[in-house]
Structure 1
Amino acid sequence: MGILERIRELRTQLNDHNRKYYVENAPEISDFEFDRLLRELQELEAAHPEYADPNSPTVRVGSDITSEFRSVRHRFPMLSLGNTYSLDELHEFIERVEKEVGETEFVCELKFDGTAISLTYDHGRLSQAVTRGDGTAGDDVTANVRTIRSVPLVLSGEGYPDLFEIRGEILMPYASFDRLNAEREAAGEPLFANPRNAAAGTLKQLSSAVVARRGLDCTLYQLAGDDLPYDSHWENLQKAREWGFKISNEMRICRSIAQVDEFIAHWDEARSRLPFPTDGVVVKVNRYADRRALGSTAKAPRWAVAYKFKAEQALTELLSVDFQVGRTGAVTPVANLAPVQLAGTTVKRATLHNAEQIAQLDIRLGDRVYVEKGGEIIPKITGVDFAQRKADSRPFEYITVCPVCGTPLVRYEGEAKYYCPNQNHCEPQILGRIIHFIRRKAMDIDGLGEETVELLYRNGLVHDAADLYDLRAGQITSLPRMGEKSAENIMESIRRSKLVPFPRVLFALGIRFVGETTAKYLASHFGSMDAVMRATREELVEAEEVGPKVADGILDYFADEGNRTLIERLRRAGLKFEAEAPRLRSDALTGKSFVISGKFSTHSRDELKELIELHGGRNLAAVSANVDYIVAGENMGPAKLKKAEKLGIPILTEKEFLALIADDEPAAATFAAEEPETPAQPTQGALF
């Protein structure tokens, strides 16, 4: 047998064994034998690079070669799903569907809590893996996805289209999540909040070798293409299973509301026994003909909906309370709990928000407390089991001095939290301000994460944001785990940050109550840093979005001598301290004010805000009588919606908003025309 024939044979054997182990859960050989075959293939490929194949089983181990992610446009838009927490609303959805298309079948599936992915196969070989992104375009993460062992690199069986997409969820099983957090805790690194965040963060690692070690999984749930073998969702997924894809076994065809309710009730209880995170059930119309008849909105298909489970709750003991200090000096109490399983993860800590909440719930050390995950993400204490309270328990005493620097805490009028006023000598405040300064929406300094900032601070190289501009590459390379390439990347990013426009520089300072939007209005109103610094309280409140509270925060910031010194050093470093004249695409929205709310399928919220400003409009943060329009996406806040309806404010869809600027400006029309076309009769692949 020749070398190429042996390489091909090994690849076929390893792909087959990989599928049997990770997809079918029916291994036929030992791990030792699998590793022996893999090592043989690695040695042959290393000796004969002319036979390289991007879909070889050897790519599963990943590479230490780093690469950035390029943006890729989706062939079929990845629409979002409408959500509901109400069975009554779910029943209304089913009744509405059947009223329109008649009696039909629904496929009920678990709603996996991971990060969405679209895989493209060309003649049976994985050619591309792209994240959801904004629904229109996502990041190419093919190299990382190839390391996930439940993703087939080469399809088996027959009958698959020459070109098609299959979509699903990249998951981090609980076992992988617990192992990863244990490793990070031992290394003194920040822990991931939940498996979903861990999966998303892992998928965007620049080193595929890191991805390979973290134990991601992938379950697929939707095919997209023009030449699928069957006319129903269920049949195509069963066929995809034959091709080697990991398709959930927890699917069911339901033909009545009662059967749907039964499926939901079962998994609402049984989900705690699953090895991966899930947060609801997706109900989809099965037949493609019915889907085409129902169609889609600009945001979501009308033939599918997600029912979200209510937050899980657990009872455990409150052991102690720590106090964390943020960049503004705000002190947040954090509960340390006896470990308890909640929504598939081990919970040891939970937020207590502030002193008022502790007093309101009458929480005491040693209490048995109820913990739940708000939105399935951040654990919080929601109550106390008073029947189990110890007889000798005493009311909780809130701290009076900063837990880090010992400075007496203060409480500002109208604020629920206590604050440490020692902003220039309290370590977490100093670090927090630097970390805020380098954020993407502020100065956008790549390569400087929280850990690197702490390294620089603890080694005496950085004490404030201005010190970043005095750094030298040699100082960075002297730090642990920092090579020459990393140092040069950081230095280049620092140099590029000098081009950041003035509104973001103002936001980056971290002035109390001055968020991203307020900084834009301040920059537009005053035009320069010097003008903002000289402004009186009366002059400040004349700017859009600046009330007395914000004005006082600005005055307090610039009254501090240390802050004024920082400003002068940043000026000498070359940062932009003056606003550039806006270059408008049109005046279509001049004099109009907008509020953006919800999630959108074609643009991000930031992109919509930018479009508003490019066409002369203004962005406001809150719904009030001063608002002319609300641009509403999926999951618009119910309070905003209610207030808008009460005030009679017109509510625009994303498409209606784009039409506003398209009618007045050719450039805007071109921008809108770049959206993916929706065919009059959607293909089988026009799916989320």
Structure 2
Amino acid sequence: MSGDEREIESFSEREARAEIDRLHGLLSAADRAYFEQDAPDITDAEYDAMKRRYQAFEIAFPALKRDDSLSDKVAGAPVEGFNKVRHAVPMLSLAKAYSDEDVADFIERGRRFFERDKDLKLAFTAEPKIDGLSASLRYENGVFVQGATRGDGTVGEDITANLRTISDIPHKLWGSGWPASIEIRGEVYMTMAEFEALKARSAAVGGQEYVNPRNTAAGSLRQKDPSVTASRNLKFFAYAWGATTADPAPTQYEAVQKFGEWGFAISPLMVRASSADELIAQYKKIEELRSSLGYDIDGVVYKLDNLELQRRWGFSSGEPRWAVAHKFPAEQAFTTVRAIDIQVGRTGTLAPVARLAPVGVGGVVVENVTLHNEDYIAGIDSNGLPIRGDEPIDVRIGDTVVIQRAGDVIPQIVRVVLEKRPADAVPYQFPHVCPVCGSPATREINEKTGKEDSRRRCTGELICAAQAVEQLKHFVSRGAMDIEGLGQENIELLFNSGLVKTAADIFTLRDRRTEVQAAFAARREEQSRQREAASGKTRKATRSVEERSFEGLDKLFAAIDARREPELDRFIFALGIRHIGETTGAVLAKTFSSMAALRERGLEAAAAGGELHEVFPSVNGLGDTVWEALRDFFENERNVAVLDSLLEQVKPKDYVVTVSATSEVAGKTVVFTGSLEKLTRGEAKAMAERLGAKVAGSVSKNTDILVAGPGAGSKLKDAQALGILVVDEDQWLEMAAK
């Protein structure tokens, strides 16, 4: 949230006005992103925290409450392009509860409000809070005549035509007993299955990417062409009503059951309860069922059941006092493990991945989560200690698990819900052979510690297709050879077509132009068939598939030719030798100066097979792990053959050290941070080292220069606090040129 986080009581009136205005601006921007653009840019938890602080300021400083206070209206404004609909009864938002104590407080407030009614027993309903787009449907004499979005709560958009395409919305109410006029309200949503199917269809034709079901449902509902909305197979749950000529029933629960009789889909998880404990029990039940529902929910809504008592309790700050939304923790969710798959990386590592029942976490649908290695699956760390609970708890297929997104980014398993474990679930047996090539998969012994490596690796190396294709992707990647036009999809295409099996084959593609053209043409033809299958229409092409497939080949061949004389450090890194990253590649380039010298020393170490330091020099920053990796690489005759074939096509530049006594950076310690726009991070580091500077990864009192690009964060603050020289990329290049 940033800003001034002091206690509200410590603010002066002038400071409070400024803070209210700041929060008003942030909340308004978040409202526009969520309600009008269907693209939320902060989490629900962050938004709610800001909203609570905003309202607390209004309470503490009532004279500063703005005329356009966000506390008095529902967020969002009607989107331009649809006719406007004014709601006869406003569509209000709900107060939020985040803990069991908040729920107990809600119940207690109700009991205090009605305390004069000594014999009154309060009942409440609990139902899932669907994460979709609110809509209001007006029925006259049982016939659907108009539908609208919530908009700003007072005015919404007329989306009648699009709502008519949703099968859960009856065009005429079923049965009898409905009021002459009533607005049925509920949530339009998209199921997880439909969302995944839409993503697959879009990916097949190179279409747009979809972030999550809620945003996709909202965008689908606002389509100008109702046929597009119809193709998205949206759903609708009814749970409330607006203007009506008569109450549907005396209670909230009975009214919703009536909706079911009239032809609407209603939540089967709605219950009636009389205590906070019963409501919280239903909350926990729904939370555990969350991943199996097939649609996204973000909490549970509690409402006072009796409609007459609802009217008596009334409203406050644009929210009903008689209802509250108990939100799920934003960062966690329950789901189930459907399968455990093994992926093989470029260095042969067998990486287990849990395939999950799709579940929304922090606005993102999570379907996969890494299980790291076989020890992690067994529930122990590298020291054999439990990582989940007091005792080792393994992960099994069929398990219910709690997941969260670490740092709101990377999904991870927090715990296994043992009481939900199926009786037939068995411990996962990690494979001891590579699932791709069938070669043995082993865990190496660390010579220093005597312990097994936590990762199991395929020993097939270049005969393993998975390692080969991942190695090729690494070879052409930005930090390595950086060959434009050879992304992951094109590498897979060329590999699967038999055109590129080793890195050397990339540099002979121009000589096999006809075969390359045929491979690209076949892919385009298949994509065209998929588009036609997805749309149900045959597209008439203005140009032949063959013509389209040839586009860009000359540009691709030119990009390949432009990398025939790479920098030595890039080339070493591109080889993908285990334990040799960008930084180590730069140190090796500086140490050996040429690829010929490095190759000669590597072959010498492979032949000697003894004490590595008798062959390799003592270099600060390079230890036995690197030297062993080089020896192992050159001990493999297939690796040497591939390297030699590659060196027939590529001539890496010798590394030239240009340390000058007059250089401004010679002998200095330099740190790079932020985004560099004219150099890659690897190029910048190599340049500094060629000029005699030492490159460090963090800022300390020993740092002399910080090169800060856009997006520089804590390193910039640390450097400024220590009085270290800070320069931008252009200034760095000027210093390096002197």
TM-score by length of 2: 0.48
Does the residue aligned with 2:402 lie in a helix, a strand or coil?
Answer: strand
Matches within 5 A, 1:161-240: 181-183=199-201
Q: How far apart in 2 are the matches of 1:194 and 1:543? A: 48
Q: How far apart in 1 are the matches of 2:597 and 2:9? A: 61
Displacement, 1:488? 1.2
Find the counterpart in structure 2 of residue 318 from structure 1: 337
Q: How far apart in 2 are the matches of 1:405 and 1:458? A: 15
Residue 570 in 1 paired to residue 588 in 2? Answer: no
Matches within 5 A, 1:656-675: 656-658=724-726, 667-668=734-735
Find the counterpart in structure 2 of residue 518 from structure 1: 584
Matches within 5 A, 1:282-301: none
Find the counterpart in structure 1 of residue 516 from structure 2: 476
Q: How far apart in 1 are the matches of 2:341 and 2:418? A: 22
Displacement, 1:635? 9.1
Residue 465 in 1 paired to residue 503 in 2? Answer: yes
Are the structure 2 counterparts of residues 492 and 94 from structure 1 closer, same or farther at C-alpha, using a change threshold of 3 Å?
farther
Q: How far apart in 2 are the matches of 1:625 and 1:667? A: 24
Displacement, 1:550? 1.7
Q: Give the partner amino acid of 2:426.
A: R
Are the structure 2 counterparts of residues 313 and 620 from structure 1 closer, same or farther at C-alpha, using a change threshold of 3 Å?
same
Are the structure 2 counterparts of residues 315 and 541 from structure 1 closer, same or farther at C-alpha, using a change threshold of 3 Å?
farther
Does the residue aligned with 2:462 lie in a helix, a strand or coil?
Answer: coil
Find the counterpart in structure 2 of residue 205 from structure 1: none
Displacement, 1:584? 7.2
Displacement, 1:373? 2.1
Q: How far apart in 2 are the matches of 1:625 and 1:549? A: 30
Q: How far apart in 2 are the matches of 1:94 and 1:555? A: 64
Residue 394 in 1 paired to residue 423 in 2? Answer: no
Identify which range, 562-571 or 422-431, moves more after superposition.
562-571
Check conservation: 1:400, 1:408, Cα contact below 8 A.
yes
Q: Give the partner amino acid of 1:91.
A: E
Are the structure 2 counterparts of residues 659 and 183 from structure 1 closer, same or farther at C-alpha, using a change threshold of 3 Å?
closer
Find the counterpart in structure 2 of residue 651 from structure 1: 719
Q: Give the partner amino acid of 1:452.
A: N
Q: How far apart in 2 are the matches of 1:381 and 1:90? A: 35
> What is the CA deviation profile of residues 522-544 of structure 1, one whole-angstrom value per residue up to 9, with x for unaligned ones?
11111011222233532646334
Are the structure 2 counterparts of residues 542 and 420 from structure 1 closer, same or farther at C-alpha, using a change threshold of 3 Å?
same
* Structure 1 unaligned blocks of 5 or more: 1-82, 117-149, 153-172, 200-214, 216-268, 279-308, 645-649, 672-688
Displacement, 1:92? 4.4
Displacement, 1:340? 2.2
Q: How far apart in 2 are the matches of 1:190 and 1:514? A: 37
Q: How far apart in 2 are the matches of 1:508 and 1:322? A: 28
Q: Give the partner amino acid of 1:524.
A: K
Find the counterpart in structure 1 of residue 557 from structure 2: 491
Identify which range, 479-488 or 555-564, moves more after superposition.
479-488
Out of 325, 335, 350, the residue aligned to residue 354 of structure 2 is 335
Q: How far apart in 2 are the matches of 1:614 and 1:425? A: 38
Find the counterpart in structure 1 of residue 692 from structure 2: 616
Residue 560 in 1 paired to residue 579 in 2? Answer: no
Displacement, 1:325? 0.3
Q: How far apart in 1 are the matches of 2:12 and 2:681? A: 34
Check conservation: 1:333, 1:351, Cα contact below 8 A.
yes
Check conservation: 1:323, 1:403, Cα contact below 8 A.
yes
Out of 422, 429, 450, the residue aligned to residue 460 of structure 2 is 422
Are the structure 2 counterparts of residues 516 and 605 from structure 1 closer, same or farther at C-alpha, using a change threshold of 3 Å?
closer
Check conservation: 1:585, 1:615, Cα contact below 8 A.
no
Check conservation: 1:586, 1:616, Cα contact below 8 A.
no
> What is the CA deviation profile of residues 537-558 of structure 1, one whole-angstrom value per residue up to 9, with x for unaligned ones?
3264633432211221122112
Q: Give the partner amino acid of 1:442.
A: A
> What is the CA deviation profile of residues 225-251 of structure 1, one whole-angstrom value per residue up to 9, with x for unaligned ones?
xxxxxxxxxxxxxxxxxxxxxxxxxxx
Does the residue aligned with 2:372 lie in a helix, a strand or coil?
Answer: coil
Displacement, 1:351? 1.3
Q: Give the partner amino acid of 1:525.
A: T
Identify which range, 447-456 or 591-600, moves more after superposition.
591-600
Find the counterpart in structure 1 of residue 5 from structure 2: 91
Residue 446 in 1 paired to residue 478 in 2? Answer: no
Check conservation: 1:571, 1:577, Cα contact below 8 A.
no
Are the structure 2 counterparts of residues 324 and 503 from structure 1 closer, same or farther at C-alpha, using a change threshold of 3 Å?
same
Does the residue aligned with 1:651 lie in a helix, a strand or coil?
Answer: helix
Q: How far apart in 1 are the matches of 2:207 and 2:352? A: 18
Q: Give the partner amino acid of 2:734.
A: A
Q: How far apart in 2 are the matches of 1:605 and 1:407? A: 37
Q: How far apart in 2 are the matches of 1:95 and 1:550? A: 59
Displacement, 1:342? 2.5
Find the counterpart in structure 2 of residue 542 from structure 1: 618
Does the residue aligned with 2:564 lie in a helix, a strand or coil?
Answer: helix
Q: How far apart in 2 are the matches of 1:667 and 1:469? A: 35
Are the structure 2 counterparts of residues 389 and 180 from structure 1 closer, same or farther at C-alpha, using a change threshold of 3 Å?
closer
Displacement, 1:517? 1.6
Does the residue aligned with 1:483 lie in a helix, a strand or coil?
Answer: helix
Q: How far apart in 2 are the matches of 1:180 and 1:637? A: 38
TM-score by length of 1: 0.51
Displacement, 1:613? 4.2
Q: How far apart in 2 are the matches of 1:629 and 1:543? A: 24
Does the residue aligned with 2:346 lie in a helix, a strand or coil?
Answer: coil
Count of matched residue pairs:
419
Find the counterpart in structure 2 of residue 505 from structure 1: 571
Larger Rg: 2
* Structure 2 unaligned blocks of 5 or more: 42-78, 82-188, 217-231, 233-286, 299-327, 380-392, 447-452, 525-547, 606-611
Check conservation: 1:193, 1:377, Cα contact below 8 A.
no
Q: How far apart in 2 are the matches of 1:447 and 1:661? A: 27
Check conservation: 1:521, 1:544, Cα contact below 8 A.
no
Out of 390, 396, 418, the residue aligned to residue 364 of structure 1 is 396
Larger RCO (CA under 8 A, 6+ residues apart): 1
Find the counterpart in structure 2 of residue 161 from structure 1: none
CA-atom RMSD, angstroms? 5.0
Find the counterpart in structure 1 of residue 373 from structure 2: 354
